[in-house]
């Protein structure tokens, strides 16, 4: 699947850490809001 | 990442949520948050840190680097309908420009709300363009490159 502006963003559901708790988070939870999803290479790196 | 956190209130005020994601486990996120990030910015990151084991999500977004086993630095702006509106991928050692991320949210929202187009360097309050037959060949009459800066 190719990601392309103007096309639906790939959906996902995964575990995450937020406000002291580990919870299941999915893209669909944010339907109706703008979402800025950013990937980064890893925890304990420098930038 | 902490730079995004510093501007989180502004991002939230635009009706946007931030999701950070890497191949690390939620437990690693917790330890990093408590041990280091909270020392860089009070309270640590206020938005969710997601886990992408094996890079399955990164692969779908085209940012999983199999040889290193990590998701590279890609940023995706998704609209309220779940449609991708902007994306940017940087080399791992190059940090992002948070002000530009916010500008892109504002520009995408302006386009969505008005149907207009935002020229280079557009910021709220600057001239936007109404695409249509009347504007064809006449952009030069109302816009110039100095307006981009």
Q: How far apart are CA B92 and CA B65, in angstroms?
A: 11
The token pair at B16 is 């946007």
The token pair at B20 is 């950070």
Asked if B105's CB is within 8 angstroms of A12's CB, the reply is no
The enclosing domain of B39 has a CATH number of 3.40.30.10
Sign of the Cα pseudo-torsion (A19, A25, A28, A29, in order): negative
For residue B57, list chain A residues with Cβ-Cβ distance below 8 A: 10, 12, 14
Q: How far apart are CA B38 and CA B17, in angstroms?
A: 20
Residue B17 in any domain: the answer is yes
Residue B116 in any domain: the answer is no
Range of the domain at B57: 2-90
> pLDDT truncated to tens, each residue of chain B (149 aa)?
889 999 999 999 999 999 999 999 999 999 999 999 999 998 889 999 999 999 999 999 999 999 999 999 999 999 999 999 999 999 888 889 999 999 999 999 999 999 999 999 999 999 899 888 888 888 888 888 888 89
DSSP-assigned letter for residue B95 = -
Residue B114 in any domain: the answer is no
Pairing outcome for strands A34-39 and B16-22: parallel
**How many structural domains is chain B composed of?**
1
Asked if A34's CB is within 8 angstroms of B78's CB, the reply is yes
ipTM at complex level? 0.95
pTM to 2 decimal places: 0.92
Residue B122 in any domain: the answer is no
- To the nearest whole Å, the CA of A29 is away from the closest chain B CA by 11
Q: How far apart are CA B105 and CA B112, in angstroms?
A: 11
Residue B142 in any domain: the answer is no
């Amino acid at each position: 699947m190719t990601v392309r502006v103007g096309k639906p963003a790939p959906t996902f559901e995964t575990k995450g850490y937020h406000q002291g708790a580990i919870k299941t988070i999915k893209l669909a939870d944010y339907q109706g809001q703008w979402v800025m999803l950013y990937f980064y290479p890893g925890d304990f790196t420098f930038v | 990442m902490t730079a995004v956190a510093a501007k989180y209130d502004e991002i939230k005020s635009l009706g946007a949520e931030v999701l950070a994601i890497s191949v690390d486990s939620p437990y690693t996120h917790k330890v990093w948050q408590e041990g280091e990030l909270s020392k860089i910015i009070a309270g640590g990151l206020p938005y969710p840190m997601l886990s992408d084991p094996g890079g399955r999500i990164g692969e779908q977004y085209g940012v999983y680097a199999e040889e290193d086993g990590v998701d590279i630095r890609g940023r995706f702006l998704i609209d309220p309908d779940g449609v991708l509106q902007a994306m940017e991928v940087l080399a791992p050692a190059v940090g992002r420009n948070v002000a530009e991320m916010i500008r892109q949210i504002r520009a995408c929202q302006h386009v969505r709300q008005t149907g207009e187009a935002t020229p280079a360097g557009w910021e709220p309050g600057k001239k936007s363009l109404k695409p249509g037959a009347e504007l064809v060949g006449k952009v030069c009459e109302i816009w110039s490159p100095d307006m981009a800066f």
